[in-house]
Amino acid sequence: MKKIYLSAIAIFASSVLSAQTAFWTNTSYKGAFPITDNTPATDWTNGWTNWDPENVNYGATTTTISANIVTSTTLSGIVHLVNNVAVTNNSTLTILPGTIIRGDKATKSCLIITRGAKIMAQGTAANPIIFTSNESIANGRAPGDWGGLVILGNGIINTACATCTASATKENYIEGFATTFPEILYGGNNNADNSGVLSYVRIEFSGVALSATPNSELNGLTMGGVGSGTKLDHIQCSFIGDDSFEWFGGAVDAKWLISFRSLDDDFDTDFGHQGRVQFGLIVRDKDISDAAGDSNGFESDNFNPGIGRLPLTKTVFSNITSIGPKRDGTVSLPVGEKFERAMFTRRNTAISIHNSLFTGWEKGWDLNGTTTADNYLSATDSGAVQNAVISTDVLYSLIGQPLATMQAYATIRNIDTTITSAGIGFVSGFPTALETTPDYRLISASPVSSGASFTNTVFGGTFVGINNITTFSDKIVSVYPNPASDVATLVIDAISTSVLNVSVYDLNGKLVASPVVDQTLQSGENTFTINTSNLNNGVYFVTLSSNNGKETVKLVVSK
| CATH code of the domain containing 553 | 2.60.40.3080
Tell me what pLDDT residue 394 has: 87
Q: Could you tell me how far CA 346 lies from the centroid of its own chain? A: 14
* 466 domain-assigned: no
Q: Compute the chain's Rg from CA coordinates.
A: 23
Q: Are residues 176 and 305 in the same domain?
A: yes
Tell me what pLDDT residue 18 has: 34
**Alpha carbons 538 and 339: distance in angstroms, whole number:** 42
Q: Are residues 368 and 491 in the same domain?
A: no
Q: Are residues 379 and 525 in the same domain?
A: no
Q: Are residues 162 and 65 in the same domain?
A: yes
Closest alpha carbon to 169 in 196, 194, 193, 197: 193
CB 118 within 8 A of CB 195: yes
* 152 domain-assigned: yes
Tell me what pLDDT residue 457 has: 44
Domain end among 397, 422, 442: 442
**Alpha carbons 538 and 129: distance in angstroms, whole number:** 52
**Alpha carbons 95 and 246: distance in angstroms, whole number:** 22
Q: Which H or E run includes 407?
A: helix 403-412
| Burial label, 399 (beta-carbon count in 10 A; 0-12, 13-18, 19+) | exposed
* 25 domain-assigned: yes
Neighbours of 264 (CB within 10 A): 25
Give every CB contact of residue 333 below 8 A, 6+ residues apart in sequence. 286, 325, 326, 339, 362
Domain end among 392, 423, 442: 442
* 528 domain-assigned: yes
Q: Are residues 408 and 501 in the same domain?
A: no
Q: Are residues 547 and 410 in the same domain?
A: no
Instruction: Report the chain (559 residues): mean pLDDT per 10 consecutive residues.
Output: 31 35 86 97 98 98 98 98 98 99 98 99 98 98 98 94 72 89 94 97 97 87 98 98 97 98 97 96 96 92 84 94 95 92 94 96 90 80 89 80 79 91 95 94 97 61 32 52 86 78 76 87 84 87 74 80
**Alpha carbons 376 and 13: distance in angstroms, whole number:** 18
Tell me what pLDDT residue 238 has: 99
Tell me what pLDDT residue 7 has: 31
Owning domain of residue 16: 2-442
* 507 domain-assigned: yes
Tell me what pLDDT residue 162 has: 81
Using alpha carbons only, give the angle 431, 435, 438 rounded to the nearest 5 degrees: 45
Domain end among 442, 458, 485: 442
Q: Are residues 409 and 490 in the same domain?
A: no
Q: Are residues 500 and 427 in the same domain?
A: no
Q: Are residues 438 and 499 in the same domain?
A: no
Q: Are residues 417 and 514 in the same domain?
A: no
Give the C-alpha distances (Å, rounded to integers) separating 106 from 133, 174, 283. 11, 22, 29
Half-sphere exposure of 263 (CA within 13 A, CB side): 22
Using alpha carbons only, give the angle 331, 334, 338 rounded to the nearest 5 degrees: 105
Adjacent-strand bridge partners of 248: 224, 270
* 464 domain-assigned: no
**Alpha carbons 316 and 13: distance in angstroms, whole number:** 15
Q: What is the pLDDT of residues 548-558, one digit of tens each?
A: 666 777 788 88
Give the C-alpha distances (Å, rounded to integers) separating 82 from 32, 74, 86, 134. 36, 17, 11, 10
Tell me what pLDDT residue 296 has: 96
Could you give the number of structural domains in the chain? 2
Q: Are residues 238 and 119 in the same domain?
A: yes
Tell me what pLDDT residue 548 has: 63
Q: Are residues 437 and 495 in the same domain?
A: no
Tell me what pLDDT residue 538 has: 81
**Alpha carbons 413 and 376: distance in angstroms, whole number:** 11
Q: What is the pLDDT of residues 386-430, one digit of tens each?
A: 999 999 988 887 766 677 788 888 888 899 999 999 999 999 999
* 468 domain-assigned: no
* 92 domain-assigned: yes
**Alpha carbons 438 and 240: distance in angstroms, whole number:** 19
